Amino acid sequence: MATRIAVAQFCAGQSVATNLTTCIRLMSQACKESAKMIFFPEASDFIGNPSEEALTLAHPVDGDTGPFLTGLCAQAQQLGIWCSVGIHEKSPYQDKLYNTHVLINHHGDIVSSYRKIHLFDVNIANGPILMESNNTVSGTQLVAPVPTPAGRVGLGICYDLRFPEMALALRKQGAEILTYPSAFTVKTGEAHWEVLLRSRAIETQSYVVAAAQAGKHSDKRASYGHSMIVDPWGKVLAECDGHSEGIAVAFVDLASLTRIRAEMPVLEHRRYDIFP
């Protein structure tokens, strides 16, 4: 049986309250489209705040989760929908945060969280210089895929998309859906976004769901958008545009996934005797 899911995109700003209102609106829209699960972008809680302010806005993912996660959990429970979302998480370090992907079930409970392990430290020619490690501490481990109404979900974040070994590791652990909440730059998005998402889907024979920030956050920062759902054959099932707030909806068909994996069992054909 196929399950309907929604991938969202919007342009987050510095106001946590405004971003929460946007997410709640998109969750309601997803429910009207009969989606059982919605996927939000990286840094859905806030973007572009000064480092000192960001440290005060971040909260842990257990205990006092703060207004953003608390609001999302309440809405997930009220609507009976699962939610994947990228946030800033408080860390033990005074000057750095975690970049975290949180999974919320239809009861409003946080059932899993993953801290980004690959940090985006790049200097793009004629483009932005971004040093994520200046204010973010990397995670240290993968998180086991989580059973959801749509399938077993493997958690990644944005730049993790460029590391196929991570996707393959999640597939070997049972993932059927790979998720990459993102805030791709326009320059790298135009060049690599779709081809990377389709590549991860094809090589792991998994659904790939990538919710993206979209539009101009400030004079210094803009995100590429094009939130996307890709099937295990590499076909783009649903896609948002490069600038608008909204959702795209598609079905996850695990019977189709099982057939593709059985007919072309690439994981079984991998030569672990030659390379790990």
Q: Count other Cβ atoms within 10 Å, centred on residue 266.
A: 14
User: Which listed residue (11, 23, 83, 158) is catalytic?
Assistant: 158
Does the annotation count 32 as an active-site position? no
Radius of gyration of the chain (CA): 18
User: Which listed residue (11, 23, 36, 42) is catalytic?
Assistant: 42
Does the annotation count 158 as an active-site position? yes
Q: Where does 11-105 have alpha helices with state H? A: 16-32, 51-57, 66-79
d(C-alpha 44, C-alpha 23), whole Å: 8
Task: At 93, list the tokens.
Answer: 């370090």
User: Which listed residue (23, 116, 176, 239) is catalytic?
Assistant: 116
What is the dihedral sign for C-alpha 98, 15, 95, 132?
positive
d(C-alpha 155, C-alpha 100), whole Å: 10
Catalytic residues: 42, 116, 158
